Structure 1
């Protein structure tokens, strides 16, 4: 077995849809894995940096943030509280002191002449009563001076002490100012009304009872510092931020930041690889979903189309990877040269517009990752992703509905125009300075990409068509050329069949377009469906120009053999000319298992015994596709209408209905996916088309007599 056939057998036998999708996913993962591989920074501490190093991610610099918070805490001043009522409280305490001394003095009848023993007992009593007071720390000398003073002197001392304390604490008194305020209050004591002992006692009282009323507030200070720390914003290293500039001396802080963003990492981290796996899984699932949707809408398409789709998709991703290295040339705008629209154009021609649009979006995402790797600044290159998105989207939408091959000027020019406008918009968004050389190169490469996409599409299409035997619109249009050898063969050897085939093609194409089938395929297949008649053209009524019918001289059984063989003779001829399988199938199936009613009835009349109907039926197979079903109906209806004498719209409509009902009741569409609703639409379409062909005409008289006009 040849190697080519072995490879084909292996692919069709062992590689399922899921296997191909898995291979595509692995290819995409391999192309994008550079986005999670550690970047080679090639920098060392205390050496001069040779390149600019940019952060590939957004991240919070926790160490710098913590230092900034500590700085904010340190710069926040302490909080102090002013107790304006504390002066009155201290005055009341002094009053309690003098009241206690007066009470003990009165109870013990103490005077300056009292015995020392009584004075000591009185002092003990005063201390006992003042034990709960926080200010009960006056010396015995002071207490003796006060307890032995006269009542008048004691009252004067109380008034002076109260006034001095109140005046001293009427303003804010901090701990740093306390000694100064106490000394000032002591210096202001009047010496004229106080003896030396009482003055010394008042000095001690003022020192004990004048205290700070403006003091440190620990709770408020703590809250203020916490609030200051909370108000500090995180220090963020932004994606694309230059951490090390070329020519700078690499410091410890720079090394720390490079490690933080992952540009220097001595430890293997599996998380980015898992993230890329999930991302690739999403892309691959979308790829599979779109193909599955396409396959459901086109059940007759073979497995080879998943190979085609996979090759185009993975190949386009590989081209993206190769083009990303163009940036190493440092030529301005060279990355815009990538011809991604080519993939959309080919997918649009071979598969569908929807799958081309979705594939363009997916490839733009893949491209943004791949080009992000080449910049070493980010995982995604957003501007390039936007450019690729619009370029591929234009490639998917630029072709007209029936256009089979992109045109250089029209389609290439449209893609180039969109590319140029997108690049211009991106340059404006990024506020890039416009320079004649740089801007001109960027716009020039973008324009060249559009024309390059069309050139590559036209160059690669024949490879796909030949390698996978694809019946593309381009191939169908080529086969519809009247100069094709087979069509010329039909025209020369069976001119009636040729005219009949052209009429069937017109009917079938319009009917297929009504139900959403491939109208171009139906038209081209109709051109070739009766090519088998060229083997014995005179045995078919449309080619009997002289009125001689060879069937009149042979048996019905022989006529049956000749007529029944033409679909299979045609299939053999088409295979000999290496025609697409879809056209061969339609030629072979266009009569299904229908009955040759004319020759069957004739054989019954000539035979004395009943003849089995199956002997005069086509052996089949029945039609398998919608296009084959439409061609079968159009073929039988056109032949019947052609044989009709003086056709008119009513007769044609009745004939169309009868043939439809006959084919339906005969089960000719049982193996085809066409629905009854679609059959009704086909019936209506063929009827309307035939009405246009066989419309009523004015019958002109044979002899036209013109009145003679006598000249004056």
Structure 2
């Protein structure tokens, strides 16, 4: 412990030098930047993807799993093409085509009948020529039907009744055949079928049969066509119904000893696991994560209303504890591959929050609990986890919060061990949750390990907190509740010195401590700090104990024989004498500040007026305490409690009214004198302090019943 204190003193000395050399803003920026760089270096390996130096068609030395989930575009396209090939084309059947073709045939025969009726006895050659001119419209209309002279002659030579019968026969056959769907590939068969019907019909004269066959065949075409729009819609729907084929995180790409063929090599490249592939995305992501963490710490620091030096100390402590935690995680992760179980569960979950809670405050501790858990998820991340190793993150978070809330009632170092057992119980409960939710079949040895790991984590949290607290307290001039409890022990050498050399001062200090503690608790200030500070605030009186009235017992007052200047110097020096003595014994800065500031710059009225009565020219500044004025609420309250306790104790018959009046007048006097100008004590809080002091003093100096003899 002595060696630790020496190292702590060295660190504290260097820390004070750095604070004096650089300003608050520069110190804050430097601390955050250096911490960010250290975190980046410590976490960099945790975010780098695992890569392999392998070539095609060699045997794999390891079983390789995908480190991330990615889409396989080649496989996806293959599946979509397969689905596309299975789509049935959409055809649209039209009955109107058959009716239109039948109408065209009827028109042909109408032209024949019309020419025959108009030509009369004209030569057949003229009739053929006229009919040929009339039927040219079929060619220009896009029907594509063209008759030779023999075909036209055969039609003109046929009498009208047979022409009408032939028209009806061909039209009926066309409608019958085209009443059924005919696709492009079926047109040839349909033409052959109608030709067969024509040739097999005995009612058709032999002379006109070739012409009838020609008309019938040209009248048959497709009536069920492909609907490209609907077909494409089905294709698009089929392709969209195929989900992208993915290589899943943790999926085995190649087994150990398996040949790395082209497909395997392509998949390894797709997930970025080849050495010739490197991505800066994880690095940028890590920078953003660290920036977010440091920003949260900085915001918490700016919201904390305290002096800059205390904020600097708190910032440095938080950063050191965070870095220390990450280093511990890295050491565990370096050897984790040698075990079949997850040894990350051995990490002391509540160490960082408990340290910060003991040294700074609860709000910082909550923030550190979350930051430590988040960083642990990255440090202990396995190759196929998503972003964070979530079970470790939750394990450390729950354990840290448990330690944080249980430590609130711990005022002795021995209580930390009780707190650590509570953390161990929470760890065990979470471990049971983890084992049950994972649905894995663990053996007895594994279950024993995880149980012991949870207990060990809790015990280590308390043990390491006890071991590290003195270092931080000494190195950064900070004080914890447990340190204050130790300092309040009556067996402390300085308290023994006060008790033996200045018993009246000791009694006065205890009374002031009771008053200050109650007043601080009433406004949410640190009552324990005020109590312990009161025990030591007048230790400077041990240098000249007889010159202070509470230690004179029945002896003569030595001030009666001294000039006011000498008495002034003796009384005013007890604050600085006490601060020197406390510094000599390496007492915390907070206790030293109370000894130095508990009178502020108050005027020593008695000797000031005495000097004026002697006819001397005196300056008021010469009879004021050197200060500084109280910088904290606790010191301001001690300043009030010290004065009111001495004033009430000097009263011969204190009553409730007298006590209330003198407390009010003392507070009013100090307020008007500007003694509270440098602390954040509000008027509302002053009123609460006044009421509490009056109630407490009335309880101490209450009237007693005079018993008969």
TM-score normalised by the chain length of structure 2: 0.92
Are residues 1:80 and 2:91 paired? yes
* Separation in structure 2 between the aligned mates of residue 236 and residue 274 of structure 1, nearest angstrom: 25
Are residues 1:651 and 2:661 paired? no
What's the Cα RMSD here? 2.6
Choose the corresponding residue for 1:670, options 657, 665, 677. Answer: 677
Aligned to 2:249: 239
SS in 2 for 1:407: helix
Q: Summarize the Cα distance change of 1:576–1:170 in structure 2 as closer, same or farther, 3 Å threshold.
A: closer
Are residues 1:595 and 2:603 paired? yes
* Separation in structure 2 between the aligned mates of residue 498 and residue 237 of structure 1, nearest angstrom: 77
Residues 520-535 of structure 1: pairs in structure 2 closer than 5 A: 520-535=528-543
What residue ranges of structure 1 are gaps of 5+ in the alignment? Answer: 703-712
- Asked if the contact 1:413/1:450 (under 8 Å) is kept, the reply is yes
Q: Summarize the Cα distance change of 1:156–1:406 in structure 2 as closer, same or farther, 3 Å threshold.
A: farther
* Separation in structure 2 between the aligned mates of residue 521 and residue 392 of structure 1, nearest angstrom: 26
Aligned to 2:223: 213
Identify the range of structure 1 (681-690 vs 257-266) with the bigger mean alpha-carbon deviation. Answer: 257-266
Aligned to 1:707: none
CA deviation profile, 1:248-276 (whole Å, cap 9, x unmatched):
43232222222122212625433432232
Choose the corresponding residue for 2:383, options 375, 384, 389. Answer: 375
Q: Summarize the Cα distance change of 1:119–1:614 in structure 2 as closer, same or farther, 3 Å threshold.
A: closer
Q: Summarize the Cα distance change of 1:398–1:176 in structure 2 as closer, same or farther, 3 Å threshold.
A: same
Aligned to 1:682: 689
Q: Summarize the Cα distance change of 1:270–1:355 in structure 2 as closer, same or farther, 3 Å threshold.
A: same
Deviation, 1:517, is 2.5
Are residues 1:307 and 2:316 paired? yes
* Separation in structure 2 between the aligned mates of residue 608 and residue 636 of structure 1, nearest angstrom: 28
SS in 2 for 1:624: coil
Residues 129-148 of structure 1: pairs in structure 2 closer than 5 A: 129-133=137-141, 134-148=143-157
Deviation, 1:361, is 0.8
Residues 392-407 of structure 1: pairs in structure 2 closer than 5 A: 392-401=400-409, 403-405=411-413, 407=415
Are residues 1:419 and 2:430 paired? no
Q: Summarize the Cα distance change of 1:136–1:461 in structure 2 as closer, same or farther, 3 Å threshold.
A: same
Aligned to 1:149: 158
* Separation in structure 2 between the aligned mates of residue 363 and residue 115 of structure 1, nearest angstrom: 114
CA deviation profile, 1:278-297 (whole Å, cap 9, x unmatched):
22211121122222323x34
Q: Summarize the Cα distance change of 1:620–1:378 in structure 2 as closer, same or farther, 3 Å threshold.
A: closer
Aligned to 2:6: none
SS in 2 for 1:398: helix
Deviation, 1:227, is 2.4
* Separation in structure 1 between the aligned mates of residue 146 and residue 426 of structure 2, nearest angstrom: 95
* Separation in structure 1 between the aligned mates of residue 19 and residue 620 of structure 2, nearest angstrom: 44
Aligned to 1:48: 59
SS in 2 for 1:188: helix
CA deviation profile, 1:452-487 (whole Å, cap 9, x unmatched):
111111111112122223222222211111001111
Aligned to 2:206: 196
Choose the corresponding residue for 1:324, options 327, 333, 336. Answer: 333
Identify the range of structure 1 (8-17 vs 443-452) with the bigger mean alpha-carbon deviation. Answer: 8-17
Deviation, 1:3, is 8.7
| Alignment length (residue pairs) | 695
Are residues 1:695 and 2:702 paired? yes
Choose the corresponding residue for 2:359, options 342, 350, 369. Answer: 350
* Separation in structure 1 between the aligned mates of residue 46 and residue 619 of structure 2, nearest angstrom: 74
Deviation, 1:36, is 4.3
* Separation in structure 2 between the aligned mates of residue 467 and residue 614 of structure 1, nearest angstrom: 37
* Separation in structure 2 between the aligned mates of residue 528 and residue 191 of structure 1, nearest angstrom: 135
- Asked if the contact 2:183/2:223 (under 8 Å) is kept, the reply is yes
Choose the corresponding residue for 2:266, options 253, 256, 261. Answer: 256
Choose the corresponding residue for 1:633, options 616, 628, 640. Answer: 640
Residues 42-191 of structure 1: pairs in structure 2 closer than 5 A: 42-109=53-120, 115=123, 117-118=125-126, 120-133=128-141, 134-189=143-198, 191=201
Identify the range of structure 1 (590-599 vs 224-233) with the bigger mean alpha-carbon deviation. Answer: 590-599
Deviation, 1:555, is 3.8
Deviation, 1:502, is 0.4
Residues 427-576 of structure 1: pairs in structure 2 closer than 5 A: 427-576=435-584
* Separation in structure 1 between the aligned mates of residue 416 and residue 632 of structure 2, nearest angstrom: 35
- Asked if the contact 2:68/2:384 (under 8 Å) is kept, the reply is no
Q: Summarize the Cα distance change of 1:283–1:576 in structure 2 as closer, same or farther, 3 Å threshold.
A: closer
* Separation in structure 1 between the aligned mates of residue 560 and residue 219 of structure 2, nearest angstrom: 148
* Separation in structure 2 between the aligned mates of residue 571 and residue 273 of structure 1, nearest angstrom: 51
Q: Summarize the Cα distance change of 1:8–1:543 in structure 2 as closer, same or farther, 3 Å threshold.
A: closer
Choose the corresponding residue for 2:343, options 320, 328, 334. Answer: 334
CA deviation profile, 1:173-220 (whole Å, cap 9, x unmatched):
333333333333333345432322222322222211122222333333
What residue ranges of structure 2 are gaps of 5+ in the alignment? Answer: 1-8
- Asked if the contact 1:35/1:379 (under 8 Å) is kept, the reply is no
Identify the range of structure 1 (442-451 vs 619-628) with the bigger mean alpha-carbon deviation. Answer: 619-628
SS in 1 for 2:225: strand
- Asked if the contact 1:648/1:696 (under 8 Å) is kept, the reply is yes
Deviation, 1:681, is 2.2
TM-score normalised by the chain length of structure 1: 0.91
Q: Summarize the Cα distance change of 1:191–1:594 in structure 2 as closer, same or farther, 3 Å threshold.
A: closer
Identify the range of structure 1 (446-455 vs 212-221) with the bigger mean alpha-carbon deviation. Answer: 212-221
